[in-house]
Structure 1
């Protein structure tokens, strides 16, 4: 059995919220600050990769 890859989302804001996106099966909402020099961040709960739109070509 294989584990599905974590979700990747392109976002427009440098500060984003993640709640797992699955309603009651998600996780507590956390606010994440995307580092401008890196251009992306991973959610510590669900491992979703949130990529700022200006960095999508670099990642």
Structure 2
């Protein structure tokens, strides 16, 4: 069973940083690498899905 990502962000870089975007209520900043063959990565803390702009039409 899969669940929908809490938030989806379209990005221009294959390396992104995520801190939960909630100030003091967020999580530690993590740096995530988007695989060039998949086009997206999901933050292990907050489930935010980062999609590279080149894969927007290919990733659901």
**TM value normalised by structure 2:** 0.89
**In 2, Cα distance between equivalents of 1:12 and 1:19:** 18
Where 2:6 maps in the other structure, the secondary structure is coil
* Gapped regions of structure 2 (runs ≥ 5): none
Aligned-residue CA RMSD in angstroms? Answer: 1.3
Q: Following superposition of structure 1 onto structure 2, how do residues 1-59 of structure 1 map, counting pairs within 5 Å?
A: 6-59=6-59
Poorly superposed stretches of 4+, deviation over 3 Å: none
**In 2, Cα distance between equivalents of 1:43 and 1:30:** 8
Aligned length: 56
**TM value normalised by structure 1:** 0.91
